[in-house]
Amino acid sequence: MNTRLHSILAVIMFLASVGAFAQEKKPDPKFYIFLCFGQSNMEAGARPEEQDKGPVDERFRMLAAVDMPRLNRTRGNWYLAEPPLNRQENNMGPVDWFGRTMVANLPQEYRVGVINVSVAGAKIELWEKDMYQDYLSSAPSWMQNICKQYDGNPYKRLVDMARIAQKDGVIKGILLHQGESNPNDQQWCNKVKSIYDNLMKDLGLNPQDVPLLAGELKSEEEGGKCAAFNTAVLANLPKVLPNSYIISSKGCKGVSDGFHFNTAGMRELGKRYAIQMLKLQGFEYKETPAAEPAGFAMKVTDQGHLGVQGFGAILYSTFHRIFVGQKDTAMEMTLHGQRIAAKGGKG
């Protein structure tokens, strides 16, 4: 009798523990996951400036798609979304400021997670399930070496990481920036749709719930060598892929090579991705003030003096009241309203 009772209790405890575990692992509907892929601009090569180095909101996370030993990151795990978000040899890109802008405008109970699997110089074929092997076999060795970090199959790595992320949150969108290597490809939109359709199928997603945002290449105004792609190819994407949206690059600054955005351009482009995604998710975007550069930055006060954090400086020059042709010049420094230094002279 006791043995039977013990067995029943053991079964009950086991089922209870399984139920608790299942409940614990239930995805958080307010943890928004975004899949990102593309070539060098999405891969991220901009050097962070001072305003990019401030603390990152804990609600913005990245899932490491590769091992990053230098950063103590292991593939398949979540980390605070500090750059680089793609591979450890990369830098800052639009995904950084996409996520930062998202969490700054979402309610506090929402989180944002990103997965970035991008490869510099790659054609869109690299993410096609039935084409990537043929394409990669003739790709330059440096690109093949990059892809080795994804076991030679960036698409599969993106799917594998997305499946891990789905245990914790909900995939709410896809960010794409690619085209410099397919500048005149009239089948580009169809290829993107094929990749998108495969992602929906492989991840069990409803296309109506997962918009794809595709960013324009560097604009003609900024000297973009592939700017024609924006109007001749990319502009057709919403006609081919209904739940897709174009992110303008107009005004996004770039470096002089004709292809890449600079740090400010990356920052602005990422912000534009976020504004569109917030709108699609039913949230209002509110302009947030730009971060102040770290360091000693003085401003003109209401009194017309230079000042910062309790320190002030006054520089003035007047003609002498008696010797009209002679100037009196002086500088005074104050700390919290108290004069700490003064220097005057005649000119």
> Under a CB-based contact definition with an 8 Å cutoff, are residues 63 and 164 in contact?
yes
Which strand ranges, in their side-by-side order, compose the sheet holding 244-247? 78-80, 60-63, 111-116, 31-38, 170-177, 212-215, 244-247
d(CA 187, CA 296): 52
b vs e for 69-83, b when ≥16 Cβ sit within 10 Å of the residue's Cβ? eeeebebeebeebbb
d(CA 118, CA 99): 17
**Helices marked H in the chain:** 2-24, 40-43, 94-105, 132-137, 141-148, 154-166, 188-202, 228-232, 237-240, 263-280
Instruction: Give the catalytic positions in this structure.
Output: 40, 257, 260
d(CA 96, CA 116): 10
Largest Cα–Cα distance in the chain?
117
Distances (CA, A) of 186 to 37, 123, 191, 204, 260: 20, 13, 10, 29, 22
